[in-house]
Amino acid sequence: MAAKAEVRPRPLKVEAIKSSVDMVEFGKALRDLKLDVLGTDDSPIPITGYYAPCTHPKVSSLFRLRRESLARSSVNSFGSRNKCPVPGMLINTNNMLGFQNLDVASLLREEGKKILHDILCGKIEECPSLLLRFLVISFADLKNWKVYYNIAFPSVFHSKMTLLSLHSASEVLSQEEAASLSKSMKEWCGSNETTVLPFFWVDITSDSSVVVRQLKDWKDRQGGAQKLLFGFYDHGCHQDYPGWALRNYVAFLSLRWKIEKVQFLCYRERLGGVDLEKSLIGEASFAAPHGWDGSDYVPEVIGWEGETPGDGRKEMKLKSINLESLSPESKHSQVDEQQLMHLKLMGWRHFPVDLDKLRGTRCLVLGAGTLGCEVSRLLMTWGVRKLTVVDGGCVAMPDLVKQSLYVEKDCGVPRAIAIVPHLKERCPAVEVEGIQMEIPVPGNPVSPSKIASVLDRLKKLVASSEVVFLLTDTWESRWLPTLLCANGNKIAITAALGYDSYLVMRHGAGPGKRCGRMDDVIAQIQNWSTEDALGRQRLGCCFCCDTTSLVNSLSNETVALPGLTSIASGKAVELFARILHHPEGIHAPGDIAGMDTEHQLGLLPHQMQGSLPKCVLSTVVGNSSKNCTACSNVVLSEYRKGELDFIMKAINQPTYLKDLTGISHTSIKSETCLNFPASFPVNSGKLSSVGCLILGAGTLGCDVARILMDYGVQKLTVVDSGRVVASNLARQSFYTYDDLNTPKATAILKRLKERYQSVDKLEFKECIMEIPMPGHSVSSDEEADVREDCEKLQDLVATHDAVFLLTDTRESRWLPTLLCANENKIAITAALGYDSYLAMRHGAGPGGSSEGSDVLPAMTKLPAEDVIGRQRLGCYFCNDVIAPVDSVSNRTLDQQCTVTRPGLASIASGHAADLLARMLNHPDGVHAPADIAGTTSERPYGLLPHQIRGSLSNYNLLTLMGYSSSSCIACSDVVLSEYRSRGLDFVMQVMNEPTYLEDLTGLTELMKSADYSQVEWADDDDDDEFPDIC
Amino acid sequence: MGGSSVWDGTLSPDEFNASAKTLVTKWGEIDVDDSLPDWAWRPSCRIGVQSETEGFLALEGVYHTGAVSETEESNDLGDESIVEYDTWVQSSCDNVHVYDFHIAYSFSYKVPVLYFQGHQADGQLLTIDEIKKDLPSHSLKILSESKWTFITREEHPHLSCPWFTLHPCGTSDWMKLLLDKLGDKDRSLQYLSAWLSVVGQAVGLKIPLKLHCSS
């Protein structure tokens, strides 16, 4: 065991510290910190590591990072010698590129400077563990559950130290000295104050008594000790080398305390006490380099873990932690956590979502039809985990296209039962109960016993829920739930569809009491005021404006334009999230679009009404009517007097409610109720023959594909390169737990086919491929593949009639845009911001091109007009003044994951698909001029705008029109003619030369001459630039 | 000495705390096996505030060497021709597993519960199969034969993440047998030492006999 006796001085060689990062716990703590606290902030944060002296005969102690490493320092104030807290710094970057770009050498130098500074200014005496200061750089790839990191233990002046001698302590110390050293060290380690201090000094007097002292006591030192040892906890177990900590200690001792030859003691343990065989005593000297005391002196530093000694090369191994749980039981909770990640990410830049509140809210969804399916799914996307779905009907074949969750084999199964597994497979953590129950309708007599049982059940359901969604397909069936909600003061949200218009509203609070007397029911009822509990005028319910009151209209089957469901559902859940986050909840006053609000989440309207053909969205506030058949005081008090009797009368006597509320006497005219305009037949012949190419099978892709099917589209090709991951499930409407890791393009087709198995006319194709993108340069190895992809895409565009651009980055839309303009195909773009969306159709390609037999002359005369001589409309890129570049690698996590409000994608998809239907119905098709909202159109299907931009928080819907720009990087004549003459060579050049497009189109010139434009557009760019991702 | 009522083998939270203190002190006084560090009392932290009463015992950083490779020596071959840069040697802790043991009180079973987990030197969590490979054969025998020792993964009551644990369902029964003869006071003080000397065997913790012998 004895160390070799050293006679000859040699460079001081030490044993490196090895770190051990407790993978699951530290990784998880870092993940939570990043998601919940840090957000996009990547500035350094303090962190604590744990150092220990060697305790094992053959194993050096590890330097550990644990879950409490990231906790506040107060938590780390206690410890023991086996867990000495050491201060460190963590730099956690936002993405891999940032991680790779960190200048590790200069970061380490900075740390070295800090150590030198602490030595010189005396901080070390106060806090000796600063000598062990460490640095962690990391990138927490939360999406893929990985953490990449490197650790450095900076060590200064490593080459300037000389080891003069080194012996086992047992050889140096006399038996008496050894005995008293053991005793003193035991006391040192037994004291709470000193046990965590890894550095100390030892006085051995001539009578062999030993005193162990703290560094801060140095100045009080009385001379006369026979031996002086500078001790430190040594993590290493090597008999020939002291541990890493020695070097900084020697630097400190000689620079601060001016000790020329340092007698050191490497403290190592056995059996809970000092192990004198293993512990080393030696002597080292340090030759301070010239200028070390200068204020800006930078010491030489080494210390990145993983650098191999010897060759001096700076190559560190990248360490990584896989956070993906090993045990299956926590797999489910991980899936859930991944599904909630996008909500947490909202807090990074926008409004922090109250996940606990959402998770704890029980939602009662009445109706599991078109709206019920969409709303239930979107509620899960919002993090709602408790759902009760009530429906009385069964899944029927014709409904499949409209009701987004059901598949063909559900036909004939009650909807309330069929919906449960479909929700579960998208979000395993959801707790969903399906209840098959027909809600009684006024004017539609039912037996008293049935009413009694239904009423009883419904009452209990309403009472046990926090929010009630009224999504049944008739107006009348909402009456009883509305009454119950007003009575119970529950949040109620109604969504209703007309043929091409929709209404989404929240009901007002129930009536408040005038004063606090609670004696009996009658007294309470008399005390009801028209105000709610907060003393505000109550907002209306969905019956408040409805004077026609409850005519039995069960026969009217709802027929609505396909995209409408998605739009209305998206708005309904948005309204839900807003109420839940509003401090006043159900009592919140109704906002009107255009108002200012100090509330972070934006406006909280009372009613929203929208119309597809008119391209309008309006917000309305209506107060509770005293004649309302569902929520007025007179109805409520009658109900409280005799619950069942009253309900029975209302349902079995057609005029009872009218007489009670006096509606039959007053004649208020109201236009609030939905009017059902004469419907125009969707030109399904055209739609069924049109071939649609969907680029991107993410959130938008799923919704658009489904809505198109609903419109009767039968030929569909989906292009995507990604695979389904857990965080997709709740947001991307088609994918289920079983689809994990399947390519999206395959999974989406499987789901589409599953729903329409028996329809054999359908022509579905998948194409798993990455769309070539400008700015993502292509190496010569990849070139052949990329060219092949380009050709594939050319072919796909040429063989389809309409192309949907639904990919997740701006640059991936460039090539398709160019190809569509070239082929004069219909191209429709949908893009999402955080709470705003864009749906637009690209203009037609330039006219007069394809006819010429000779290519060259045809190109030179590409006109600014399209074939029918109209000015061409713009494409997605026409407003941009910068060419797309690689926007992927430098994104932060929330940008990678497309943080948008759940529901937004549904709305955008609805508008995008609707645009196609309108274009196909327009006599001019792709050449149709752009309409602007507010104008009237004599065509039955209404306006055909160029761009629709909407914002959820401002409740506006804008129709914009822009003409094709002559310097557009995707559809301008100069780009098109270049493409036509050079083909793929041109495309490859665009990929590889970032500025080529800008130079070609003159944008470079433009930017030089007018820098204002860049500023002007920068904002806008942000808006529609976070597109949808996988 | 024994009370008239029959003791059911359980422990109150206060008794657990007192017994924990006894264990910590005793552990410090006796010579423990080669490489075991000390047990320490860890107050429970809720929202960053340390609890006065609640907490758990922790024995952290127990190193287990499967086969320590002696290849380290090769690093020293070049001693004579050290270049200036070559001022350190790699640490010798590959192939090492680090174990952490916690003892927490189970309010539902009213007995102590052993939580543990092991890491590879790089921080990778050990699976139960890897852990079993580290266990001495007598531990494996206990694990496979005794009814009271089966390992599950459960949420650590103070850290809220899953740790391996020996299920506490049989604990009170065999503790009753073990300590039945003692008086109430001795019983609660010696409880943990006695309990640990049994439980430790199952997970390969070498608990010195002295710990259980009354001092």
Provide the CATH number for the domain formed by A11-158+317-322 in this structure.
3.40.140.70
How far away is chain A from the Cα of B75, in angstroms, using its nearest Cα? Answer: 10
Q: Which residues on chain A are in Cβ contact (under 8 Å) with B122? A: 20-21, 319
How far away is chain A from the Cα of B173, in angstroms, using its nearest Cα? Answer: 29
Surface of A (131-160) touching B: CB under 8 A? 155, 158-159
Per-residue pLDDT reduced to its tens digit, A389-420: 999 889 988 778 788 888 888 888 999 999 99
pLDDT at A134: 93
* Confidence category of residue A782, pLDDT binned at 50, 70, 90: confident
For residues A808 and B210, the model is more confident at A808
* Confidence category of residue A669, pLDDT binned at 50, 70, 90: very low
* Confidence category of residue A864, pLDDT binned at 50, 70, 90: low
Percentage, residues of chain A above pLDDT 90: 16
Nearest by Cα to A246 from A11, A7, A15: A15
Lowest mean pLDDT among A216-230, A682-696, A698-712, A882-896: A882-896
Q: How far is CA A694 from CA A248, A512, A558, A873, in A?
A: 62, 53, 29, 21
Per-residue pLDDT reduced to its tens digit, A929-976: 888 877 777 777 778 889 988 888 778 888 888 888 888 888 888 888
Length of chain B: 215
* Confidence category of residue B212, pLDDT binned at 50, 70, 90: low
Q: Are A421 and A737 in contact (CB under 8 A)?
A: no
| Chain B touched by A861 (CB under 8 Å) | no
- How many helices (H) does chain B have, and how many strands (E)? 6, 7
- Of A348-357, A373-382, A614-623, B60-69, which has the strongest mean pLDDT? A373-382
pLDDT at B71: 39
Per-residue pLDDT reduced to its tens digit, B198-207: 888 888 887 7
Asked if A75 lies within 8 A of B45 by C-beta distance, the reply is yes
How far away is chain B from the Cα of A361, in angstroms, using its nearest Cα? Answer: 23
* Confidence category of residue A861, pLDDT binned at 50, 70, 90: low
Q: How far is CA A992 from CA A138, A198, A641, A785, A970, in A?
A: 30, 56, 78, 15, 16
Q: What is the ipTM metric for this complex?
A: 0.80
pLDDT, mean over chain A: 80
- Give the mean pLDDT of A610-633: 82
- The SS3 of residue A989 is helix
- Give the mean pLDDT of A694-711: 89
Q: Is the pLDDT of residue A558 over 70?
A: no
| Chain B touched by A852 (CB under 8 Å) | no
Q: Is the pLDDT of residue B35 over 80?
A: no
* Confidence category of residue A636, pLDDT binned at 50, 70, 90: confident
| Chain A touched by B38 (CB under 8 Å) | yes
Q: Is the pLDDT of residue A252 over 70?
A: yes
pLDDT at B42: 82
Q: Is the pLDDT of residue A524 over 80?
A: no
- Tokens for A489, please give them: 């003061």
- C-alpha A408: how far from its chain's center? 33
Is the domain covering B13-64+95-212 a CATH 3.30.1460.50 domain?
yes
For residues A747 and A227, the model is more confident at A747
The rounded distance, in Å, linking the Cα atoms of A207 and A199 is 24
* Confidence category of residue A533, pLDDT binned at 50, 70, 90: low
For residues B86 and A47, the model is more confident at A47
Is B1 exposed, middle or buried (CB count within 10 Å of its CB: 0-12, 13-18, 19+)? Answer: exposed
Percentage, residues of chain B above pLDDT 70: 75
Per-residue pLDDT reduced to its tens digit, B19-29: 888 888 888 77
Extents of the domains making up chain A: 11-158+317-322, 159-289, 342-661, 684-1023
Q: Are A64 and B61 in contact (CB under 8 A)?
A: yes
- What is the phi/psi pair of residue A234, to 5°? -105, 120
Lowest mean pLDDT among A611-615, A764-768, B67-71: B67-71
Q: Which residues on chain A are in Cβ contact (under 8 Å) with B65? A: 56, 58-59
Q: Is the pLDDT of residue A351 over 80?
A: no
Provide the CATH number for the domain formed by A159-289 in this structure.
3.40.140.100
B/e letters for A401-430, b = 16+ CB within 10 Å, e = fewer, are bbbbbbbeebbeebbbbbbbebbbbbbbbb
Cβ–Cβ pairs < 8 A, chains A and B: 164
Q: Which residues on chain A are in Cβ contact (under 8 Å) with B90? A: 15-16, 18, 308-309
Angle between helices A984-992 and A973-982 (to 10 degrees): 120
- Give the mean pLDDT of A652-662: 78
* Confidence category of residue A852, pLDDT binned at 50, 70, 90: very low
Extents of the domains making up chain B: 13-64+95-212
pLDDT at A1019: 38
In CATH terms, the superfamily for domain A342-661 is: NAD(P)-binding Rossmann-like Domain (3.40.50.720)
For residues A641 and A151, the model is more confident at A151
Please, what is the Cα angle at A99 between A898 and A314, to 5 degrees?
A: 160
Residue of B nearest to A328 (CA): B153
* Confidence category of residue A675, pLDDT binned at 50, 70, 90: very low
Fold match between A11-158+317-322 and A159-289? yes
Lowest mean pLDDT among A374-378, A452-456, B62-66: B62-66
Q: Which residues on chain B are in Cβ contact (under 8 Å) with A9? A: none
* Confidence category of residue A1027, pLDDT binned at 50, 70, 90: very low
pLDDT at B209: 67
* Confidence category of residue B185, pLDDT binned at 50, 70, 90: confident
Is A626 exposed, middle or buried (CB count within 10 Å of its CB: 0-12, 13-18, 19+)? Answer: middle
Cβ atoms < 10 Å from Cβ of A820: 28
The rounded distance, in Å, linking the Cα atoms of A637 and A487 is 9
Per-residue pLDDT reduced to its tens digit, A163-191: 898 999 888 888 888 889 988 988 888 78
* Confidence category of residue A673, pLDDT binned at 50, 70, 90: very low
For residues A149 and A664, the model is more confident at A149
* Confidence category of residue A233, pLDDT binned at 50, 70, 90: very high
pLDDT at B34: 58
| Chain B touched by A21 (CB under 8 Å) | yes
Q: Which residues on chain A are in Cβ contact (under 8 Å) with B39? A: none
- Give the mean pLDDT of A924-929: 83
Cβ atoms < 10 Å from Cβ of A316: 16
Asked if B82 lies within 8 A of A58 by C-beta distance, the reply is no
Per-residue pLDDT reduced to its tens digit, A875-924: 888 877 666 666 666 677 666 666 788 888 899 999 999 888 888 888 88
Provide the CATH number for the domain formed by A684-1023 in this structure.
3.40.50.720
B/e letters for B136-153, b = 16+ CB within 10 Å, e = fewer, are eeebeebbeeeebbebeb
Secondary structure (H, E, C), A706-727: HHHHHHCCCEEEEEECCECCHH
The rounded distance, in Å, linking the Cα atoms of A878 and A704 is 24
